[in-house]
Chain A
Amino acid sequence: MWENSNVCILLVFLLIQLKMVQGYLKSKLPASEEILPVFSVILFLVFSWTLYRVFYVLPAWLMEMTAVEILAVCAYVFSFALLESLFVLGGMALLSLVLPARFFKQKFVPLGSLLTIFLGAAAYLIHPRTAELIPFRLLYLALIPVIVLVGIIVLIFLLALLFERLPAVRRAVTALAERMTIFVYIYLPLGVLSLVVVFLRLLFDIIIRVFTA
Chain B
Amino acid sequence: MEKKRLTGINRRDFLKLAGGFSLVPLVEKPESGKKWLSQSGQSLPNIIILVLDALSARHLSLYGYHRKTSPNIDRFAEKAAVFHNHHSAANFTTPSTASLLTGKYPWGHHAYTLRSTISGSSAQSNIFHYLHEKYHTAAFSQNLYADKLLFQFEQYLDRHLPADSFNFSGRTIYTRLPGNEAVAGFRAYDQFMLNRTPERGSLFLSLLHDFNYLLRYRLAFRDLGEMYPLGMPSVDGCYANFTLEEVMDGVISLLDGLPTPFIAYLHLLPPHSPYRPSTGFRKVFNDGWEPPPTTVHPLGDVTQGDSPKKRQLYDEFIANLDNEISRLLEYLQSTGLLEKSYFILTSDHGELFERGELGHSTPLLFEPLLHIPLVIASPGQKRRIDIRTPTSSIDLFPTLLAIAGVEVPTPTAGQVLPLGNREGDHSRDIWALEAKNNSTFGPLKQATLALYRGNSKLVYYHGYKNYKDQFEFYDLDIDPDELENRYPADPAAAEMQAKLEAQLNKIRHQVR
| Chain A residues engaging chain B, CB cutoff 8 angstroms | 1, 4-5, 7-9, 11-13, 15-17, 45-46, 49-50, 53-54, 56-57, 60-66, 69, 72-77, 80-81, 84, 87-88, 119-120, 123-124, 126-128, 130-131, 133-134, 136-138, 141-142, 144-145, 201-202, 205-206, 209-210, 212-213
Contacts and interface: CB of A to CB of B under 8 A. Distances in A.
B218 A141 contact: yes
Contacts of A50: 193, 201-203
B306 interface: no
A210 B181 contact: no
Contacts of B35: 213
B178 A65 contact: no
Contact of A84 (B32, B116, B205, B215): B205
Interface string B186-203: 011100110010111111
Contact of A9 (B17, B113, B179, B219): B17
B447 to A, nearest CB: 13
B188 A77 contact: yes
B31 interface: yes
Interface string B21-65: 101100110111111000000000000000000000000000000
A126 B206 CA distance: 11
Contact of A57 (B178, B192, B219): B192
Contacts of A131: 196
A205 B180 contact: yes
Given A15-B16, A73-B184, A84-B204, A209 B178 contact: yes
Contact of A138 (B178, B204, B205, B219): B219
A134 B214 contact: yes
B181 A5 contact: no
A127 B184 contact: no
Contact of A64 (B116, B184, B207, B210): B116
Nearest to B33: A213
A73 B34 CA distance: 27
A37 to B, nearest CB: 19
B2 interface: no
Q: Ordered nearest first, which 9 A-B pairs have the shortest CB separation?
A: A12-B20, A213-B33, A76-B188, A128-B198, A53-B201, A63-B439, A49-B203, A130-B210, A138-B218
Nearest to A69: B184
Nearest to B113: A64
Contacts of B207: 123, 126-127, 130
Contacts of A8: 20-21, 23-24, 27
Contacts of A128: 198
Contact of B9 (A16, A80, A205): A16
27 contacts: A15-B16, A16-B9, A46-B203, A46-B204, A50-B203, A53-B192, A57-B192, A61-B115, A65-B115, A73-B184, A75-B184, A76-B189, A84-B203, A119-B204, A120-B204, A123-B203, A123-B204, A123-B207, A124-B203, A127-B200, A127-B206, A134-B214, A138-B215, A205-B179, A206-B178, A209-B33, A210-B30
A73 B188 CA distance: 5
A124 B203 CA distance: 7
- Per DSSP, chain A at the interface is helix
B185 interface: yes
Given A50-B202, A127-B198, A137 B178 contact: no
A172 B181 CA distance: 45
B440 A64 contact: yes
Contacts of B203: 45-46, 49-50, 84, 120, 123-124
B115 A60 contact: yes
Contacts of B17: 9, 12-13, 16
A12 B35 CA distance: 35
B33 A210 contact: yes
Contacts of B210: 130, 133
A205 B178 contact: yes
Contacts of B168: none
Given A5-B21, A213-B34, A72 B192 contact: no
Contact of B201 (A1, A54, A64, A75): A54
Nearest to B209: A130
Interface in B155-194: 177-181, 184-185, 187-189, 192-193
B21 A76 contact: no
Contact of B20 (A9, A63, A77, A88): A9
- A77, A81, A88, A136: residue with the most chain B Cβ atoms closer than 10 Å: A77
B178 A202 contact: yes
Given A80-B205, A202-B178, 6 more contacts: A13-B17, A61-B115, A120-B203, A124-B203, A202-B181, A212-B33
Contacts of A80: 188-189, 193, 201-202, 205
B291 interface: no
A201 B181 CA distance: 8
B72 to A, nearest CB: 32
A54 B219 CA distance: 34
Interface in B65-84: none
A136 B214 contact: yes
- A50, A136, A142: residue with the most chain B Cβ atoms closer than 10 Å: A50
B158 to A, nearest CB: 13
B407 interface: no
A143 to B, nearest CB: 11
Nearest to B436: A63
B211 interface: yes
Interface string B238-259: 0000000000000000000000
Nearest to B34: A213
A3 to B, nearest CB: 10
- A8, A50, A74, A136: residue with the most chain B Cβ atoms closer than 10 Å: A8
B217 interface: yes
A64 B214 contact: no
Nearest to B200: A53
- B27, B199, B201, B211: residue with the most chain A Cβ atoms closer than 10 Å: B201
Contacts of B211: 130, 133, 141, 144-145
A145 B214 CA distance: 12
B491 interface: no
Contact of B215 (A46, A123, A141): A141
Nearest to A56: B199
